[in-house]
Chain A
Amino acid sequence: MKWLFAVLAVFLTGCVATVPKKDLSAFQAAAPRSILVIPSVNKTLDVDAPNYLLSTLTVPLAEKGYYVFPVHTTKTVLEQEGFYEGEQIHAQPPESLAKMFGADSVLYVTIQRWDAKYAFLTTVVTVEFDYRIVNKDGTELWATKQRMQYQPDNSNNSGPPLAQLLAAAINAAVTRAAPNYMPLARQANAQVFLLGPSAIPNGPYKPVQ
């Protein structure tokens, strides 16, 4: 019978987070139904990063049970109001943004890193974000940060050492020429909103299990 418990234990730990959870009492007390996702502040050199990141934020939050304001519509409305840059938008009082859109809460994301750096025969791709959810009354409900990294795997090369070196260098060059940030951005979002110790409470549209 012992082996049965062992099997169960292994599978159960696969689902349960072992790190202590964040204090979510403010979030639970405010119980927002909707989240306004605004364009992010960009601290990196990649001017496309905010738009690309914007495309990844809706699905995890909506799947968590929240009404997520349509990000492209929101961005367009803000542009009509003269707000083109994340810095400008983040500088507005959260209360005014929430009121303007009729939102219960606002998600602020700052992009700290979105880069591909060459490091001895490999290219390391990194994204790093600061996340904050602020209530419509201006109270911060939740904040966290996440970094994700990726480097191409050179370990399965075979052949003479020089050929391996060349293959690794080509691999690194290809990654640097067209780094793929999107899976990393999606992993970061899934980690902070859904999986990690910072995971937010379920929203009103998530069925009770």
Chain B
Amino acid sequence: MKNLLILPIALSLAACAPKTLYQWGGYEDMLYRGYKEPEKMDVMRTNLEMHIQKLQQSGQKVPPGMNSELATLYLQTGDKAKARSYYSAEKDAWPESRVLMEALITNLDRTTKGNQQ
């Protein structure tokens, strides 16, 4: 009797339980804090990078857009090499991002060349 009752409950709970596709590592909250207090964008950059490394080490997919957001945060501190490498990572992971990532990388390469001349 008891088991009969538990089974349907367990089944229905499993059906309803939210399964997430990705591990976001607090992305939403970090971005909110960064918009609230711009100096917190540094915290976001550091934490996002650690989160991405953790995902890669455990063989999990980095969520859509996350590599690109980290690249942009690096670009905003002037680190073009890091920005370029994370934009490339986004492009390789998500074919839908190709047009935008290629434009960003081309633009970066052009401005880097301009500075060297």
Q: Which residues of A are at the interface with B, using a C-beta cutoff of 8 A?
A: 4, 7-8, 11-12, 14-15, 33-34, 48, 51-52, 54-56, 58-59, 62-63, 65-73, 76-77, 101-104, 182, 186, 205-206
Q: Are A15 and B4 in contact (CB under 8 A)?
A: no
Secondary structure at the B interface, as helix, strand, loop or mixed, is: helix
Residue of A4, A8, A54, A70 near B12 (CB, 8 A) is A8
B32 surroundings in chain A (CB, below 8 A): 52, 55-56, 182
Cβ 8 A contact of A55, one of B12, B28, B68, B98: B28
Contacts of B75 in A (CB 8 A): 76
Please state if A55 and B35 are interface contacts (CB–CB under 8 Å).
yes
A14 to B100, CA, bound (A): 41
Residue in B closest to A12 when the chains form the complex, CB atoms: B12
27 inter-chain pairs at a CB distance below 8 angstroms, sorted by A residue, are A4-B4, A8-B12, A11-B12, A14-B16, A15-B15, A33-B96, A55-B28, A55-B32, A58-B28, A59-B27, A59-B28, A62-B21, A63-B20, A67-B64, A68-B65, A69-B65, A70-B69, A72-B69, A72-B73, A73-B68, A73-B69, A76-B72, A77-B100, A77-B104, A102-B96, A104-B96, A205-B21
Q: How far, in Å, is A193 (CB) from chain B's closest CB?
A: 13
**Which B residues are in CB contact (< 8 Å) with A58?**
27-28, 64-65
A137: min CB distance to chain B, Å: 16
Does B99 contact A48, Cβ atoms closer than 8 Å? no
Taken together as a complex, chains A and B put the C-alpha atoms of A23 and B108 apart, in Å, by 43
B79-117 interface (Cβ within 8 A of A): 90, 94, 96-100, 104
Residue contact A4 to B8, C-beta cutoff 8 Å: yes
The CA-CA distance from A45 to B84 in the complex, in Å, is 38
Closest 8 CB pairs of A and B: A102-B99, A70-B65, A11-B12, A67-B96, A51-B35, A34-B96, A55-B31, A70-B68
